[in-house]
Amino acid sequence: MLILRTVQEIKDYAAQQKAQGKTIGLVPTMGALHEGHLTLMRAARAKCDIVIASVFVNPTQFGPNEDYDAYPRQFAADCTKLESVGIDAVFHPEPAEMYPEGYCTYVTVEGDITHKLCGAQRPGHFRGVATVVTKLINLSRADEAFFGQKDAQQVTVIRRFVEDLNINVHINMVPIAREESGLARSSRNVYLSPAEKEAALVLSRSLKVAKHAYAAGERKISALENIVTEELHKEPMASIDYVKAYAYPSLKPLTEVSEDTLLAIAVKIGKTRLIDNVILSA
């Protein structure tokens, strides 16, 4: 597996693969890789001739009071995992390589899709995501890019700017990978103490309760949101950021589930902010 550390190195590598007529898959990550990431890698491996992963903790998507400095960085361990799933190359730049002195260009996705859910809670977050993903797609010359459903709003935002800017890449969304307990896999799970990790099970449990209510015939958005909220309130260590349901992928407001619907939650367990969701199929 090649380790590419500079913009020029990944440009040269992508050009070589394209010259041989190969399709390129891109899996952007911030490292601290877990089985959820590896699920994305395997999906890319199955679909593309060449797979490039990025490991880059992107400073522009973190707010001033967020965990950029503390975000787990374990590149050697990440490389071992990447090699285990047959990744061809990993792009691991320093921040100054991606945002050199004088850098002043950003991709901003306006509109309702970025002003709700995590966009409402984390101002500027999606500007950072859109900018770095645009750069990574351009540098890798990816035909396919792979993202997880856990960040379903992010997938909608990425698909929006890819279409709006006529970027020639297909965006794949891969289902959420979960631990046996039901907890959605996340790099931030390492922050959780044993007691907090047990408490965090309330996220998937609350969504499961709502999913059962939906299967039993409940269609009102307010009722489904209330079911999740009530279940979350049963866990003393849980502090709710949001419980919201919107049409998916448009993220338009609904009063009843009349089309595919994203039921999404963000909850703090101790100091750790976790997200999870389920898509209710109409």
Q: Is the peptide bond before 249 cis (omega within 30 degrees of 0)?
A: yes
List, as one string, the DSSP characters of 165-204.
TT---EEEEEPPPB-TTSPBP-GGGGG--HHHHHHTHHHH
Six token digits for residue 260: 């595919």
Domain assignments of the chain as residue spans, ordered by start: 2-174, 187-280
Fold entry, domain 187-280:
Pantoate--beta-alanine Ligase; Chain: A,domain 2 (3.30.1300)
Query: 152-175 pLDDT, tens per residue?
Result: 999 999 999 999 999 999 999 999
pLDDT of residue 46: 98
121 annotated to bind ligand = no
Active site residue 37: yes
149 annotated to bind ligand = yes
- Catalytic annotation, pick one of 37, 92, 115, 170: 37
Fold match flag (2-174 vs 187-280): no
**Could you give the percent of the chain with pLDDT greater than 70?**
100
For residue 269, pLDDT over 90 is answered with yes
Local confidence band at 221 (pLDDT 50, 70, 90 cut-offs): very high
Local confidence band at 282 (pLDDT 50, 70, 90 cut-offs): confident
State the CB neighbour count (10 A cutoff) for residue 41: 23
31 annotated to bind ligand = yes
What CATH number does domain 2-174 carry, 3.40.50.10490, 3.90.1580.10, 3.40.50.620, 3.30.420.40?
A: 3.40.50.620
pTM, entire model: 0.96
